[in-house]
Amino acid sequence: MSINSIMWSAQSALATSQTALQTTSTNVANVNNPDYVRRQVQLQALDIAGQTVGVQVAQIQRVAADFLQGQVLSSRSTSGTFDAMSSIHDQLQSLLGAPDSADSMPGQISQALAYASQLTLDPVSPPNRAGYLQQLQSALGSISNLSSQVQQLRAQTDSSLSTQVASANSLISDLFDLNNQIVKAQGSGQSADALQDQQAADLRKLSDLMSIKTLNQPDGAVYVTTDDGFALVTDNKVQLSYTASVATGTDVVYAPITAQSVNANTGQPVGSAVDFDGHISQGSMRGLLTMRDTDLPNLMQQLGELGANFADQLNAAHNDSVAVPPLNTLQGRNTGLLSTDDASASTSISTAIHIR
C-alpha cells in the first residue's frame, strides 16, 4: 500500500467522522424539537480506480418509525378531543361560579330557599315579604341569565369550529403540495429531508384537529385518510366547507361540515360533496361538535327544567297557604246550634283578596 493510499484513507475517515459528529450534534440540539426527526449517517466504501482507499458518507437518512408515528398521531387526536372539551368546561365553570359564592346561581337559589324559613317567623311583615320576592327574582333571573350565556358559548363554539375547518383546509392543501415537491426531489436525486420534516409537522397539526391515518407511497408521497378511510390527500385532495351559523337559540340546527374532492390538475370538483361530521371520530373538531350539538344543548335543557321545577315548588308552597286558587272541598264543624235557635248575633267578617 502506497503512502498516497494511506493518506487518502486517513483523510476520508476524518471527513466521514466529521460529518457523523455534525449529524449527532444536530440530533442532540433538536432532542426537544417535536418537528425534528433524527438523522443517521449511512457509510460506504470509497473506491478509486477499482481500489478501496477509504470510507465515505453514502447518505444521511431520516429515522422515522411508521408505527410510532401512527401512535403519536392517534394520541394527539385523542388529546385534542379532550383539550377542546376541557376548555369549554372551564368557561362553563367560570359562568357557574363557586357553589359557596353568594353571587353564583347555586348561591342565589340557596339564599332564596333559606329566606323562606325567615319569612315564617313574621309572614305579614312587608319588609320580609318584599325581601323574599327580591330573592326569588334574583334566583330565577340567575337561571335565565346563565341559560343565555350558555347559548352564547354554544355560538362561540360553532365559530371556533368554522375556524378549525379553515385550518384543516390549509393543512390538507400544504400536505398535497409537499407530496408533489417530495416526489419531484427524490425523482431528481435531491434530498427531501427538509420537506419531509415539514410534512411530519403538518400531519401532527392535522391530527390535533381530526383523527387521521397515513400510508407511505413508493415515490415518497404520503396519502392521508380519516380513521374510517375517507380520503383527504391522495392523487387528489379534499376541500372542506363550513360557515358558522348566525342564528342563536336552543332550537338552532347547525348545518354539517361538507367535504368535496378536487381534481389536482384542473381544480374542478370530483363527484358530489358529502357530509363530513361522521368521519371525524377524534380531534379538537370532534370535541367542538360534541359540545355544540350534545353537551351544551343538554345543559340548556337542564337549566330550563331547573327553572320550571323551582317555580312549580314555589307555587305549590304558595297554594298550600292561601285559598287562591279556591279549595276543591270545604270542611265544617258542629257549633251546637239548632235550627230554631236565635242566630241574630252581629259579627264582622274580613275578606282578603289575593291577586296573582
Question: How do residues 87-142 score in pLDDT, each as one tens digit?
Answer: 999 998 888 877 777 777 877 877 777 776 666 666 667 777 777 777 778 888 88
Q: How many other C-beta atoms are found inside a 10 Å radius of the C-beta of residue 270?
A: 13
Out of 55-59, 265-269, 342-346, the most confident range is 265-269
Report phi then psi at 276, rounded to 5. Answer: -110, -15
Out of 50-54, 98-102, 164-168, the most confident range is 164-168
Residue with the larger pLDDT of the pair 31 and 294: 294
Which sequence spans correspond to the domains of the chain? 3-63, 68-303
Q: Which helix (H) or strand (E) holds 262?
A: strand 258-262
Give the integer Cα–Cα distance in Å for 290 and 297: 10
Distance separating the N- and C-terminal Cα atoms of the chain: 116
**Model's pTM, two decimal places?**
0.73
* 282, 227 Cβ separation under 8 angstroms: yes
Strands of the chain, DSSP E: 39-48, 51-62, 212-216, 222-226, 231-233, 237-241, 258-262, 269-275
pLDDT of residue 320: 54
Q: Which helix (H) or strand (E) holds 60?
A: strand 51-62
Single-letter code of the amino acid located at 179: N
Residue with the larger pLDDT of the pair 318 and 87: 87
Give the integer Cα–Cα distance in Å for 351 and 53: 122
Give the integer Cα–Cα distance in Å for 28 and 351: 93
Place of cell 385523542: 78
Question: How do residues 221-270 score in pLDDT, each as one tens digit?
Answer: 999 999 999 999 999 999 999 998 887 766 788 999 999 999 877 888 88
